[in-house]
Structure 1
């Protein structure tokens, strides 16, 4: 049961990361969002998007038995850990008023912590998947 449920949770986690990454673009000007995401030297939004898309494809491949489940679990676990570490670093370093000052958007003040929390779902589900297939 958990061999099928864990990758489904991983897919939902990846989709949630992608949704939260794109959310500021709907509420703030693109220039403000670029300032918001570029507070660290690493392009967090680009890396998280790339890692989430690769993990999404890998979880789907493992779910439909198109790839070795243990390999998929390992790949998604590593991608999820990198994604979570980069996002947590960005969330800690980014001042709370960056997006609020740049875009005058008070509704996005907790966005960075929500994104950091959601990215933790990817390595958690990948670890669960690894535990169930090994």
Structure 2
């Protein structure tokens, strides 16, 4: 059961990452969001989108037994750890009022920490999947 549940949780966690990543674009002006995501020299929004989409496809491939489960588990684990590390770096470095000041929206004041926390679900589910298939 958990051999099939782990990639499902991974798919849901990738979708949650993509949802939280795009949330500021719906609630704040694009210029404010570009300042918000541009606080580190690495484009955290682009890298997280790319890694979440690749992990989403990989988890789906592993769920439907179209690829080697051990390979899928390894790939999603590496992508998830890298995504979580970059997002945590960005959340620590980004000042608390960056998006709130630029967009004058207090509702997004804790977004960066929630977003960083959700990105850790991807490597956690990939590790769970790796433990089940190895």
Q: Tell whether 2:7 aligns with 1:3.
A: no
TM-score (norm 2): 1.00
Partner residue in 2 for 1:121: 121
Separation in 2, partners of 1:25, 1:79: 24
Partner residue in 2 for 1:71: 71
**How far off its partner does 1:27 sit?**
0.6
Separation in 2, partners of 1:10, 1:133: 14
**How far off its partner does 1:107 sit?**
0.2
Separation in 1, partners of 2:27, 2:65: 39
Pairs within 5 Å for 1:39-50: 39-50=39-50
- The alignment yields a C-alpha RMSD, in angstroms, of 0.2
How many residue pairs align between the two structures?
134
**How far off its partner does 1:76 sit?**
0.1
Give 3-state SS (helix, strand or coil) of 1:67's partner.
coil
Partner residue in 2 for 1:18: 18
TM-score (norm 1): 1.00
Give 3-state SS (helix, strand or coil) of 2:67's partner.
coil
| Deviation string, structure 1 residues 59-108 (Cα, Å, up to 9, x no partner) | 00000000000000000000000000000000000000000000001000
Separation in 2, partners of 1:51, 1:26: 21
Separation in 1, partners of 2:83, 2:49: 9
Give 3-state SS (helix, strand or coil) of 1:40's partner.
coil
Q: Could you tell me which runs of 5 or more consecutive residues in structure 2 were left unpaired when the two chains were aligned.
A: none
Q: Could you tell me which runs of 5 or more consecutive residues in structure 1 were left unpaired when the two chains were aligned.
A: none
Give 3-state SS (helix, strand or coil) of 1:47's partner.
helix
| Deviation string, structure 1 residues 44-67 (Cα, Å, up to 9, x no partner) | 000000000000000000000000
Q: Tell whether 2:58 aligns with 1:58.
A: yes
Separation in 1, partners of 2:105, 2:25: 12
